[in-house]
Structure 1
Amino acid sequence: MDSYNAFPGNLILAIHPRVPFTNIGLFRNQQLIFLKKIMHTEEARKQSPDYAGECGMRSEQIYKEMVENNLPVADIKVVISRGGLVHPVQAGVYRVNEKMIEDLRAGVSGEDVVNLGGLVAAELAKMIRGASAFVADPVVVDEFDEIARVSGHAEFKRRSVFHALEQKAVARKYAKTVQKKYEDLNLIVGQMGNGITIGAHHRGRVIDANQGLDGDGPFSPSRAGQVPIGDLINLCYSGKYTREVLYDMITIHGGLYSYLGVHDGYSAEHMALNGDEKAVFYLKAMAYQVAKTIGSMFTVLSGDVDAILLTGGLVHSTVFMEELQSRIRRIAPVHTYASEDDVETLALNGYYILQGEIAVQEYEG
């Protein structure tokens, strides 16, 4: 277990990259002292062939922002971000080492903006003397039961790719409110934003979850979820699309975007509340599919569920949530949480590192 000799001057920089922006938060212990959404222009992003190529641009922009705001950059000891699509790992905090950087750049488990987290953290740590880079609860945290890995064909294996950081943070928050240990509860947890993942949490382990990245579970604002396989195979061989276009169709331009032309639940909700019946229908259809996935996790937990916990931007959609809750309320008590602040959750992990209260693990690939 590492100790970074915490004292009041030690600061934590938490970063959360998204496609058009990066959220950053600077913390002294658990106190936020600076928060900023740093926008990245489409022109700047187009200079790179992939997400990994944006690392330098984003890092320089973040560093410049901190300097221009006269922040005590030299006092930053921990730079922490979400973990990306590396090889499967156990839950926890990992040092960003050379092997992780190599695997993030290669996209060994997939290509997504989340891979920038560890890369930007490492680049910033190089720019700040005395700082170290970490990631917390990567999206490839793997605690699946072996039976959950079976896909239906020997050529394929179900993978654990879900919102581990957000789901585990909400689960622990709920456990604290009911004065129980997370490891003593059975929970169904849903993170519902641009992507949607539903996890079955059995006594502190996520034993099953839909793979929300590229084709499993409900559709979401940007992602198609599970589509008819035969039709997808036919489309692949139709000659109409390249592999890259088809992959974007599933992961970026699917879901609500394909039906309504908007990438987020807020815009779809606005359309629905202004009388757009098509928007109402597809928000309800999305809720229907989420409810089906929650129902499947109920069976994974053998019907023994203490609570259903829902978080993410979609909890603010009245049309979506009314439909969803009407379908799942008889399964178990439902609790909703305002969209989890990933920057705050990351900073808390950074605080534990400084205090020596968490074991920092080494990524081996």
Structure 2
Amino acid sequence: MNEEDKLILVINPGSTSTKIGVYKNESEILCKGIEHSAEELSKYSKMLEQFEMRRDAVLDCLEENDIDRGQLSIIVARGGTLPPIDAGAVYVNDEMIKVIKSGALAEHASNLAALIGKNIADPLGIPVIIYDGVSTDELSEIAKISGMEAITRDSLTHALNTKAVARKVAAENHTRYENVNYIIAHLGGGITISLHKKGKMIDIISDDEGPFSPERAGRVPCRRLIELCYSGKYDYNTMRKMLRGKGGLVSYLGTNNAVEVEKRIKAGDEEAKLIYQAMAYQIAKGIGELNVVAKGKIDEVIITGGIAHSRMMTDWIKDYVSFIAPITIVPGENELESLALGGLRVVRGEEKAREYK
């Protein structure tokens, strides 16, 4: 059997779910989203502690769907919050695993993908790669300046989905990604906004410096944050959870489920409506911020991610930003397919994966 006739396993952990896909060439054999409730996730104080739970969920899913691991040719994992990397395919090696396990990286579910992938791949003797990782860095030099010399702005965003969506929308408009300027808001468990200028993602608003999301606090007043940190009421891990995991909708409404929030709103819950509108308001502010960076020369504003399925949310955002450029809604994520196609290019020898250093 040729390598490209075998199967490709894709692993993509998000803040509230673990998505897996199995592909044969370009064809999807299996696509499954394994949901993790807020109650289940609350058992773990750190993201890395979720490794075994999520790995077992992936293995159980493969078994339940009669997927023979022996037929896998490559595993493609979502790239985590590593130090800056180039776009494209990078092998998951011992050095990458060491960096992830060090605990020095920003807390993000995507860090678990490489760990899960390598754990499954090693006994099978097959390669595992990441593709267009979260830390893909194409920022302009001026965008890296933070305002505090000790801190450099990092490029941590939904690079995989936003780049895939940008290419898709450009093709639908009979042009190329390298010819257009897009602002793309990815609305998921975490929310990021990015400016794509002529094929490069030159500036971003990461999930800790912009809108709050279902479970992340986003940009909060720095002085008040420092006061909380040194108040003696909270330890380090609690503060990290307040920012990532128990922030955003969880902090205000006790749930990370946007569908549940919308049900409350439709039932007349005014508090839920105010908080949900505030999330739309902050997303719109972020889009406006990046519009200034582009000096208003934007071809399209794209709203993507799971929450882009919400007509309520996207209508509120459109009401604020429709003056900037035409708005395209691309609900959901193309991440599994994008990862699989990247892996297929490596298997076919059309693209070379680089060693992680």
Asked if structure 1 preserves the Cα contact closer than 8 Å seen for 2:143 and 2:153, the reply is yes
In the alignment, residue 153 of structure 1 is paired with which amino acid?
A: M
In the alignment, residue 47 of structure 2 is paired with which amino acid?
A: Y
Counterpart of 1:134 in structure 2 is: 129
Select the residue among 106, 113, 136 that pairs with 1:110: 106
Counterpart of 1:219 in structure 2 is: 212
Which runs of 5 or more structure 2 residues have no equivalent in the other structure?
none
Select the residue among 210, 229, 241 that pairs with 2:234: 241
Q: 1:255 to 1:51 in 2, by over 3 A?
A: closer
Q: Matches of 1:23 and 1:232 in 2, distance apart?
A: 33
Asked if structure 1 preserves the Cα contact closer than 8 Å seen for 2:78 and 2:110, the reply is yes
Counterpart of 2:264 in structure 1 is: 271
Select the residue among 138, 143, 150 that pairs with 1:143: 138
Select the residue among 51, 55, 74 that pairs with 1:59: 55
Counterpart of 1:161 in structure 2 is: 156
Asked if structure 1 preserves the Cα contact closer than 8 Å seen for 2:3 and 2:73, the reply is no
Asked if structure 1 preserves the Cα contact closer than 8 Å seen for 2:38 and 2:255, the reply is no
In the alignment, residue 179 of structure 2 is paired with which amino acid?
A: D
Counterpart of 1:93 in structure 2 is: 89
**1:1-365 paired onto structure 2 within 5 Å:** 6-8=3-5, 10-19=6-15, 21-38=17-34, 50-129=46-125, 131-212=126-207, 215-364=208-357
In the alignment, residue 123 of structure 1 is paired with which amino acid?
A: N
Q: 1:184 to 1:5 in 2, by over 3 A?
A: farther
Q: Matches of 1:41 and 1:263 in 2, distance apart?
A: 9
In the alignment, residue 89 of structure 1 is paired with which amino acid?
A: I
Mean Cα displacement is larger for which, 88-97 or 310-319?
A: 310-319
Q: 1:259 to 1:40 in 2, by over 3 A?
A: closer
Report the alpha carbon displacement of residue 359 of structure 1 after superposing the two structures with TM.
2.7
Local SS of the residue matching 1:89: coil
Local SS of the residue matching 2:18: strand
In the alignment, residue 254 of structure 1 is paired with which amino acid?
A: G
Q: 1:103 to 1:302 in 2, by over 3 A?
A: same
Local SS of the residue matching 1:113: coil
- Aligned-pair identity in percent equals 37
Mean Cα displacement is larger for which, 39-48 or 82-91?
A: 39-48
Report the alpha carbon displacement of residue 245 of structure 1 after superposing the two structures with TM.
0.6
Asked if structure 2 preserves the Cα contact closer than 8 Å seen for 1:95 and 1:135, the reply is yes
Q: How many residues align?
A: 357
In the alignment, residue 360 of structure 1 is paired with which amino acid?
A: A
**TM-score normalized with structure 2 length:** 0.93
In the alignment, residue 81 of structure 2 is paired with which amino acid?
A: L
Q: 1:341 to 1:181 in 2, by over 3 A?
A: closer
Q: Matches of 1:278 and 1:54 in 2, distance apart?
A: 32
Deviation per CA, 1:116-140, whole angstroms, max 9, x where unpaired?
A: 10111111111324x2101111111
Deviation per CA, 1:190-230, whole angstroms, max 9, x where unpaired?
A: 10111110001111111110121xx3011111111111111
Q: Matches of 2:307 and 2:248 in 1, distance apart?
A: 13
Q: Matches of 1:314 and 1:68 in 2, distance apart?
A: 28
Asked if structure 2 preserves the Cα contact closer than 8 Å seen for 1:88 and 1:142, the reply is yes
**TM-score normalized with structure 1 length:** 0.91
Which runs of 5 or more structure 1 residues have no equivalent in the other structure?
none
In the alignment, residue 158 of structure 1 is paired with which amino acid?
A: R
Local SS of the residue matching 2:265: helix
Asked if structure 2 preserves the Cα contact closer than 8 Å seen for 1:256 and 1:263, the reply is yes
Q: Matches of 1:140 and 1:330 in 2, distance apart?
A: 31
Q: Matches of 1:210 and 1:88 in 2, distance apart?
A: 16
